[in-house]
Chains A and B, each alone.
Chain A
Amino acid sequence: MVKSRPVFLELWRIRLPIPGVVSILHRLSGILMVLAIPIFAALFARALSDGTGFASAAAWAASPLGQLALLLLGWSLLHHLLAGIRYLALDLGWGLDRPTARKTAWISLYGALALTLIGAVVLR
Chain B
Amino acid sequence: MSRRASGLKAWLIQRLSAVYLGLFGVYLLLFFAFAPPRDHAQLAAWASSPWVALGLLVFIPLLLAHAWVGIRDVLIDYIKPIGLRVGLLSLLALIFLASGLWALQALILVQIG
Chain A residues within CB distance 8 Å of chain B: 27, 30-31, 33-34, 37-38, 40-42, 44-45, 47-51, 53-54, 77, 81, 84-85, 88, 91, 119, 123
CB-defined contacts of A88 to chain B, threshold 8 Å: 15, 18-19
> Is A31 a contact partner of B18 (Cβ separation < 8 A)?
no
Closest 8 pairs between A and B when the two form their complex, measured CB to CB: A41-B99, A45-B106, A54-B40, A48-B106, A51-B40, A41-B103, A38-B99, A48-B110
* Complex-state Cα separation, A44 to B43, whole angstroms: 10
Q: Of A34, A45, A91, A119, which is within 8 A of B67 by CB? A: A34
Main secondary structure of the interface of B (DSSP, over half): helix
Chain B residues within CB distance 8 Å of chain A: 15, 18-19, 22, 25-26, 29, 33, 39-40, 43-44, 47, 63-64, 67, 70-71, 74, 92, 95-96, 98-100, 102-103, 105-107, 109-110
* Complex-state Cα separation, A123 to B30, whole angstroms: 11
